[in-house]
């Protein structure tokens, strides 16, 4: 304990950071002049404005496709799901470039330029005569008009790919893991980061959706473009204060080297003592730039063959395709361990995606009046999800964690895996709430002889608030937990890839939702049946779709419990673990 205390004191008193970060000039980052909370406001401001831009153009997108591109409900929902899924797949490209070659700062700056170009074209497609689709419901948009719209959308999808995985990790890079005080502050950073996302979403789902509905789509898409320009300015303003983690080379190459070396030596005997496996001698830094050494683990032992030293490869210049370090092997093991946890987030992401599709379509049939003259757009109901996130984020830190700490004895109340698991369980309740409302809505439509009416049903749209509020609670537990978990548990030189991995679960959730809609539509419309999700929802059974998602969520949660029990947290060899996950490593993960 005395050694740990002295090491912590030494870390805090060091003039420069000990995690390998550098300043804007490429020199070791000076602790007193860079990073921490002096740099984070610029990053959080960037994230807030970028999310305002993203949600400002995406929250009401399904209605734009229905009203202006004249698509059916199912087609519009699928187009939104496919585009949203692409937005969460492209981070793999941005993360790879950041970790391997460009670094996070340059990747963010480059992809923001493409993002603004896409938003500009989107605004033009909604405002410029010739590019703007006809307002006549009997007239279809031309091929060029549709092309301009979808090209703009997918430019935005690629642009956001370089931003999503890098901004959260870049902000966390501003805190030195080797300094206990900075390491503790990093946990607060993730909460503030998610709050900044939701402040931007709050403005988008209220003000911008109202502008799109009541002023026009040109203004409704133009304001997000301006917000993105503000995001760029905020990010660049803090350039001299940032700490930068050096790019570590291609992580895909390193992982492939482990597989090839392990296969080549698969017949070699593994030593009984893991210390006999190959590792760089000397400092706590590994041979991988920007990465600390990792302790050996007993899982996936076959991969350890890559680090076995045999008589013909004890030369210092031996090829990494024949001999890898323990840290390089543990990098691959760590990624493999993350995959089941990553997969467990897909169904939750499918539930989350309903807010921009089925919840909006359901809300379009309900009474939106608030007072004698004001009507709240269905897409604006997501404001209650945002408010729920803000309230639950505060309640989690101030109420939930102190209560949980009394029973668990853990500084953060729950392990990261426990936190995510609670969110998965809560998400089931959101689908049950949505399904229950839909049953009541259909009964009202039938009892008032409004099954074929296009008027609003005499059911207030505010009955949707519980389902939005419950999803907000699930987000605080699962999505914030994912942010911290994937940053903390990813190898040091692959943290952008770790963030991208967590985001791809959201992508696959959108694709899963789109696939479910397609399958459900195909199956339930056989033999001329109207199906579960027709254009006239009063004649359909959207409630069945919500029950289906609830059932999938229950199964997913049960599988997750087994995954969390099996998972082992990452351990570095430099310091005594200071993060919640690492501190809990010797215990059961659940």
Residue 152, pLDDT score: 92
Return the SS3 of 234. Answer: helix
- CA 358 to CA 378: how far, in whole Å? 11
Domains annotated on the chain, with CATH: 20-247+344-583 (1.20.1250.20), 251-333 (no CATH)
Model confidence over 435-480: pLDDT tens digits?
A: 999 999 999 999 999 898 888 899 999 999 999 999 999 999 998 8
Q: Which residues make beta-bridge pairs with 369?
A: 375
Residue 554, pLDDT score: 97
Q: Which residues make beta-bridge pairs with 460?
A: 367
Residue 285, pLDDT score: 60
- CA 369 to CA 23: how far, in whole Å? 54
Model confidence over 320-332: pLDDT tens digits?
A: 888 988 889 998 9
Residue 509, pLDDT score: 86
Identify the segments of the chain with pLDDT beneath 50.
1-12, 575-588
171-193 in b/e form (b: 16+ CB < 10 A) is bbbbbbbbbbebbebbbebbbbb
φ, ψ at 265 (rounded to 5°): -110, 25
φ, ψ at 572 (rounded to 5°): -95, 165
Residue 557, pLDDT score: 96
Alpha helix segments (H runs only) across 490-576: 495-524, 542-566
Distances in whole angstroms, Cα of residue 490 to Cα of each of 78, 495, 496: 32, 5, 9
The structure tokens listed for 366 are 């309900």
Cα dihedral 205, 518, 341, 174 sign: negative
Q: What angle do CA 302, 303, 307 make, to 5 degrees?
A: 115
The tokens 């408010």 sit on which residue?
Answer: 387
The structure tokens listed for 248 are 């570590």
Residue 413, pLDDT score: 77
Distances in whole angstroms, Cα of residue 473 to Cα of each of 12, 407, 467: 36, 21, 10
φ, ψ at 301 (rounded to 5°): -60, -25
pTM value is 0.77
């Amino acid at each position: 304990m005395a050694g740990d205390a002295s090491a912590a004191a030494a870390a805090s008193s060091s003039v420069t950071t000990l995690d390998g970060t550098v300043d804007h000039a490429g020199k070791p980052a000076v602790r007193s002049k860079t990073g921490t909370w002096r740099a984070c406001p610029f990053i959080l401001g960037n994230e807030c404005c970028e999310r305002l831009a993203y949600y400002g153009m995406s929250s009401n997108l399904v209605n734009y496709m229905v009203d202006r591109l004249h698509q059916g409900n199912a087609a519009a929902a699928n187009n939104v799901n496919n585009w949203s899924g692409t937005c969460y797949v492209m981070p793999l490209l941005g993360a790879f470039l950041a970790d391997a070659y460009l670094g996070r700062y340059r990747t963010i700056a480059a992809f923001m330029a493409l993002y603004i170009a896409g938003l500009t074209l989107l605004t033009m497609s909604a405002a410029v005569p010739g590019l703007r689709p006809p307002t006549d419901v009997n007239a279809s948009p031309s091929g060029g008009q549709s092309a301009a719209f979808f090209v703009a959308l997918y430019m935005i999808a690629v642009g956001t790919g370089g931003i999503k995985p890098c901004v959260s990790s870049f902000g966390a890079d501003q805190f030195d893991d080797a300094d206990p005080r900075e390491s503790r502050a990093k946990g607060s950073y993730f909460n503030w980061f998610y709050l900044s996302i939701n402040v931007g979403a709050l403005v988008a789902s209220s003000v911008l959706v109202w502008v799109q509905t009541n002023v026009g789509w040109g203004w409704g898409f133009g304001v997000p473009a301006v917000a993105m320009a503000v995001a760029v300015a905020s990010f660049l303003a803090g350039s001299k204060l940032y700490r930068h983690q050096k790019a570590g080379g291609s992580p895909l190459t390193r992982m492939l080297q482990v597989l090839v070396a392990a296969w080549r030596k698969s017949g070699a005997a593994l030593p009984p003592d893991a210390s006999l496996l190959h590792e760089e001698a000397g400092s706590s830094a590994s041979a991988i730039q920007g990465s600390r050494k990792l302790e050996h683990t007993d899982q996936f032992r076959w991969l350890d063959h890559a680090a076995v030293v045999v008589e013909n490869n004890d030369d210092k210049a031996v090829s990494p395709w024949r001999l890898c370090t323990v840290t390089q092997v543990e990098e691959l093991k760590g990624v493999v361990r993350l995959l089941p946890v990553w997969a467990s987030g897909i169904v939750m992401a499918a539930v989350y995606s309903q807010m921009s599709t089925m919840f909006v379509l359901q809300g379009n049939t309900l009474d939106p009046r608030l007072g004698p003259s004001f009507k709240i757009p269905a897409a604006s109901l997501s404001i209650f999800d945002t408010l729920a996130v803000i309230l639950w984020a505060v309640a989690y830190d101030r109420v939930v964690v102190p209560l949980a700490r009394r029973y668990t004895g853990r500084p953060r109340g729950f392990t990261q895996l426990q936190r995510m698991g609670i969110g998965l369980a809560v998400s089931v309740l959101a689908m049950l709430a949505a399904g229950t409302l839909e049953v009541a809505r259909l009964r009202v439509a039938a009892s008032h002889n409004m099954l074929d009416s296009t008027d609003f049903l005499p059911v207030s749209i505010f009955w949707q608030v519980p389902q939005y509020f419950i999803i907000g609670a699930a987000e605080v537990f699962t999505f914030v937990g994912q942010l911290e978990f994937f940053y903390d548990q990813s190898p040091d030189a692959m943290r952008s890839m770790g963030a991208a991995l967590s985001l791809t679960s959201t992508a696959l959730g959108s694709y899963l939702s789109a696939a479910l809609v397609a399958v459900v539509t195909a199956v339930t419309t056989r033999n001329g049946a109207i199906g579960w999700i027709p254009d006239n929802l009063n004649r359909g059974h959207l409630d069945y779709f919500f029950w289906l998602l609830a059932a999938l969520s229950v199964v997913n949660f049960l599988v997750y419990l087994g995954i969390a029990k099996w998972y082992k947290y990452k351990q570095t060899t430099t310091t005594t673990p200071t993060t919640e996950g690492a501190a809990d490593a010797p215990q059961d993960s659940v």
